[in-house]
Amino acid sequence: MVEAESVTPPNHESEQSSNESLFRSERFWYAIDRQLLGFGLRLILILPAFSILTSFGALAFSSNSPQWWAKIEPTLNMSFAMALITLTFIILLGYILVQIFHRHRVELSIGNFEAEVERLNQEHLSIQSLHGYESLADLLISARSKHSWSLLFAIMSSLLLGCIFVFDIASLNGRILLLLSFSTLLLSLGQHIPTRSRPFNMDERTGLLDAYTPPIHPSTLEMVFNDLVKTHMDPLLRSEYEVYSKEIEECYTEEIDPQFAREKILMTLYRHSKGLDFKTMESELSEVLTEQGMALVQNHPIFTMEEWLSILDHIERSCPAFFRMIGRIEEDLGAGRSSTSPGIVFEVDMENVVHGRANLFTLIHNLSDTPRNIVLRVQSPDFRPHDLAMTYRLNPGERHWWSTKALPLAAEGDDDILGLMSGLLRDGTVAWQSLLPERFGEATVSVRLEEQSGDLILGRQINVRVRTKYLERIRNFTSVTTNLIGILGISLGFFIKINDIFGNLGA
């Protein structure tokens, strides 16, 4: 009788321990990188800048040393130019170490990203199927490749500079080597600079937000705050948010609409990020959450208050027009002003300065008791699409989400700004359109609310300025320039050497 072999399950504890060790390692290196290397003191930029200055100094004094150096030269047995070459070589060694440490931190971040994806897959949360995962993964791989090339060029620069100690800077070969070293250093910088536009890390839960660019977004938001949050979250954070949403849905108070509750929670968290005190925030949340739900919001291991503040700040920077729009509505509610037009709420906003694409937000809400069919038309000669028309059926709201008397920001019940605003976002229709600019400079957008017959109900014209991001433009220009000068410098060095060889042969 043959005994069946027992199959031992994989050691999840050792795998979990390995992942925790990887995260701790990244936390250590990311702290150094944030304070000294890539950010903070920015040694990764300062060191090559100093080495470029000392390289120019060595080239300027390659023929003769300054007079004050004449007293020191016999002692050191080294010309002033070679002393500068030595200093440049030491700085380059420091730059290489910084590049190694920075690349190691990036490698740890990517390793933690892959480990987190694998962990979520084991929990049956397929991250790879989420929209935007491929673009994010491609960005991380591209960043690793650029850092590798940057480190390789830095090592080549130091090796070429080290060869000058054999040929001496006063010789033609020495000056050619200095030119080649300078050029490869510029190529190293040219590879590194583009990676600074979209930094990422896995030490912070929100460390991928700046690197992630939402590829698409819904044109009509069902649950406005919820859709905004999900759109701007990276795939890892979005998958965790889906689990969090299901957990918190089980903690709503009885007879509360789940959509209203979720919108009010996010609205309250947003107002807390803008200065609403903690006690008032707790009071507002307790109107839609049980004690268990309050404990979950306050003590959740992933979505802590600090993480929510970071997420909401990122969304506000990405879509300032939306928050300006709801800010104006809140001001109207607080002052007790009447709605824009009898029977309808209509607000529209768009960022004043457009970079890449324009985000146009429109909020429409039917205050009457009967359904209405309206047409939202967006026209602009400066943006694509030039003419956009969308037909909406506006059903009456669950209740009259407006008030002509001044309201407090937060009070018991839903007769306050937070309550009305949450209901307005839930029952209203919020359209989010991305408009692509065709030219830089001044641009106009016309937004019209029409009856189906074509009669104008309300209209707005928005004037904006279209331009590229200044810092992004500087980075792109610097990257292209350094790469171009580096390639030209290498070509020039080879040309000078070939010309010297053929000149000696002819002589």
| 306 lies in the same domain as 325 | no
Got the DSSP string for 231-261? HHS-HHHHHHHHHHHHHHHTTBPTT--HHHH
Helices (DSSP H) in 205-357: which residue ranges?
224-232, 235-249, 258-273, 278-286, 291-299, 305-318, 320-335
| 81 lies in the same domain as 196 | yes
Average pLDDT over residues 325-337: 86
Of 270, 302, 311, 350, give the one whose Cα is nearest residue 120: 302
Tell me the per-residue pLDDT of 144-190, one tens digit each, with 9 for 90 and over.
999 999 999 999 999 999 999 998 888 899 999 999 999 999 999 99
With respect to residue 211, please indicate whether it lies within any of the assigned structural domains. Answer: yes
Is it the case that residue 8 has pLDDT exceeding 70?
A: no
Q: Which residue has the tokens 């699409």?
A: 385
- CB under 8 Å to 170, separation ≥6 — which residues? 62, 63, 79, 81
**Tokens linked to 264:** 């009010």
With respect to residue 3, please indicate whether it lies within any of the assigned structural domains. Answer: no
With respect to residue 1, please indicate whether it lies within any of the assigned structural domains. Answer: no
**Strand-pair category, 383-384 with 429-437:** antiparallel
| 449 lies in the same domain as 396 | yes
Boundary of a domain, candidates 310, 340, 360: 310
Boundary of a domain, candidates 265, 293, 310: 310
**Tokens linked to 82:** 């070679």
Q: In CATH, what number is assigned to the domain containing residue 383?
A: 2.60.40.10
Supply the range of the domain harboring residue 329. 319-467
**Strand-pair category, 353-354 with 456-466:** parallel
| 387 lies in the same domain as 487 | no
| 340 lies in the same domain as 373 | yes
| 25 lies in the same domain as 157 | yes
- CB under 8 Å to 243, separation ≥6 — which residues? 125
Tell me the per-residue pLDDT of 113-150, one tens digit each, with 9 for 90 and over.
999 999 888 888 778 888 889 999 999 999 999 999 99
| 333 lies in the same domain as 451 | yes
| 59 lies in the same domain as 185 | yes
| 398 lies in the same domain as 336 | yes
With respect to residue 246, please indicate whether it lies within any of the assigned structural domains. Answer: yes
Number of domains in the chain: 3
Boundary of a domain, candidates 284, 310, 336: 310
**Tokens linked to 109:** 């971040």
Of 246, 251, 327, give the one whose Cα is nearest residue 287: 251
| 391 lies in the same domain as 270 | no
Q: What is the 3-state secondary structure (H, E, C) of 429-479?
A: EEEEEEEEECCCEEEEEEEEEEECCCCEEEEEEEEEEECCCHHHHHHHHHH
With respect to residue 325, please indicate whether it lies within any of the assigned structural domains. Answer: yes
| 199 lies in the same domain as 209 | no
Give residue 15's pLDDT band: very low, low, confident or very high (50, 70, 90): low
| 406 lies in the same domain as 445 | yes
What separation in angstroms does the CA of 372 have from each of 393, 448, 452?
A: 6, 16, 10
Is it the case that residue 407 has pLDDT exceeding 60?
A: yes
Tell me the per-residue pLDDT of 346-367, one tens digit each, with 9 for 90 and over.
999 999 999 888 999 999 988 8
Return phi, psi of residue 349, to 5°.
-155, 160
With respect to residue 269, please indicate whether it lies within any of the assigned structural domains. Answer: yes
